[in-house]
Amino acid sequence: MVTANQHILIVDDDIEIQKLLSRLLQRNGFLVTAVSTGTEMQSTLSQETISLILLDVMMEHDNGLSLCKTMRAKSSIPIIIISALGKPSDRVLGLELGADDYISKPFYPQEIIARIESVLRRHKQINVINKANRALQFSGWTLYPEQHRLFSPENVEVSLSAGEYVLLEVFVKNPMRVLSREQLLDYLHQQYQSEVFDRSIDVQISRLRKRIETNPHTPELIKTVRGKGYQLYSEVVTDEN
């Protein structure tokens, strides 16, 4: 099932093919942009959010396989090659250069739609997996925001209460920044729609320090900045597993 924000970029210098594919895709609910050259393709990509590229191999001024290889080196946008070259060796080469699928001309209209939807579903699943595996690392600790899991420098999972977790998340997403009690409370209220933290923000910070500090009485990670608030005193790096 497609949605209106899925935008397909057609790269083909055959105007009739452009028109045919554009009508077909628009009838099936896609946004469509059609261009004739690699230069126009790059210009469109710099200005629009593209969901998938339909790329012709044999164009007068550009080599579609070279464009595919260049794109794949810098982007994960799905690419389906459409080509009059239908030999198995041509298909294999296209896939080896980074295409997600390869359709030979002449093609059946519904095959195009089915292939596009299949590639988009697969790409979405990969993005979900990558997002779930995204880790935020600080001073040896690893936080998985999508999974609400925290691991110590010894790779031992540390259990946090809901309040402790959200408090840690706001610190990790604002490293080295001094956050006032009011800013922390605003964030917690947005997450929990509750006034419970008004009287316990300092208690929550104390509990969090017991979880992650070597010595909670002389904290090195979550520091108190006198008269201003609290600060996660650590760099945070994102790791895509």
Its pTM stands at 0.55
> What pLDDT sits at residue 187?
76
What percent of the chain stands above pLDDT 90?
Answer: 37
Q: Is the pLDDT of residue 33 over 90?
A: yes
Return the bridge partners of 225, or none: 229
Q: In terms of Cα–Cα distance, which of 103, 97, 101 is closest to 52? A: 101
Mean pLDDT of the chain: 84
Domains of the chain and CATH, by start: 7-133 (3.40.50.2300), 139-240 (1.10.10.10)
**Cβ atoms 21, 34 nearer than 8 A:** yes
Residues in the chain, how many?
A: 241
What's the 3-state SS for 61-124? CCEHHHHHHHHHHHCCCCEEEEECCCCHHHHHHHHHCCCCEEEECCCCHHHHHHHHHHHHHHHH
pLDDT tens digits along 173-222: 899 999 998 888 877 766 654 444 555 678 888 889 999 999 999 999 99
pLDDT bucket at 144, cuts 50 / 70 / 90: confident
Residue type, 31: L
pLDDT tens digits along 74-123: 778 889 988 877 667 777 787 877 888 888 888 888 889 998 998 888 87
